[in-house]
Amino acid sequence: MDIELVSSYEELSLKSKDFIIESIKKKNDLLLCAASGDSPTGTYQLLASEFQKNRELFSSLRVIKLDEWGGILMNQQGTCESYLQEHLIRPLQIPESRYIGFNSHPDNPDEECVSIQKKIIEAGPIDLCILGLGSNGHLALNEPGEFLQPYCHVAELTISSLRHSMTTGMESKPAYGLTLGMADIMNSKRILMLVSGIKKKEIVKQFLAQKISANLPASFLWLHPNVVCLIEKDTMEH
């Protein structure tokens, strides 16, 4: 794992933007798996600025949504869908034909997961997966527990995840999560994990201990051959 400490959120965003741009230049139809939340927001804003300078660069880019809050309407503020539409899909003008994403309010959540898994098989593998580090060590909505699931699945959300900043303004809380599984993530050719936020000091410390456990899903990234991890240094100071 290539770990790089950065001095600020702005530097983290700039470095991750550059990493993504270089990846697209190497493969113009890159399949990008996109996380939601505070950590990648600055990166996406910088990508939107790049789009205004060079629209052609993004003309074949494909995007897949990493996870979603389940049991709430897609257009409700706080869904991963509304976040990605605002910060990535609309700014980069990604059409439906180049976007794969969970429906947040499916009639049958399990069938929705089967459908997304088929689309990953057809479109994949994922070329670059953007991840954040959950405050409880989760990766996407693969929650800590006795075991982890390999493929797209319906996740039972922990109290920690239900307190996520994205859910604070929701009228009703998510009933479950929809997420890519650990094998889907680990099968990505490259992974870029962004770690920011002073509240993550303890989980960063546990992650850097390199002890691989289902109780810390992010620890499995130590098994992947091509991970770049950008860590804002404030998350490591005691």
Quick check: is 153 catalytic?
no
pLDDT of residue 129: 98
138 is catalytic: yes
Q: Is the pLDDT of residue 87 over 70?
A: yes
Mean pLDDT in residue range 9-20: 98
More confident residue, 66 or 163: 66
Q: Which pLDDT score is estimated for 158?
A: 75
Which is nearest to 71 in space by CA: 228, 177, 225? 177
Q: Mean per-residue pLDDT for 99-109?
A: 96
Catalytic choice (87, 105, 138, 153): 138
CA distance 31 to 206: 30
Point out the catalytic residue in the list 67, 68, 112, 127: 67
Q: Report the pLDDT value the prediction gives residue 195, as an integer from 0 to 100.
A: 96
pLDDT for 162: 62
CB 142 within 8 A of CB 134: no
Q: What is the pLDDT of residue 172?
A: 75
Is pLDDT of 97 > 80?
yes
Domains located in the chain, CATH noted: 2-235 (3.40.50.1360)
List the catalytic residue out of 136, 142, 153, 232. 136
- pLDDT of 238 strictly over 60: no
Going by pLDDT thresholds of 50, 70 and 90, the confidence category of residue 237 is: low
Q: Is 28 assigned a catalytic role?
A: no
Query: What is the percentage of the chain residues whose pLDDT exceeds 70?
Result: 95
Phi, psi at 14, each rounded to 5°? -65, -45
Q: What pLDDT does 198 receive?
A: 82
Whole-number Cα distances in Å, 206 to 51, 103, 182, 196 = 37, 33, 19, 15
At 74 the pLDDT is 87
Please say whether the dihedral angle defined by the alpha carbons of residues 86, 166, 178 and 176, taken in this order, is positive or negative: negative
Of 143, 153, 164, 184, catalytic = 143
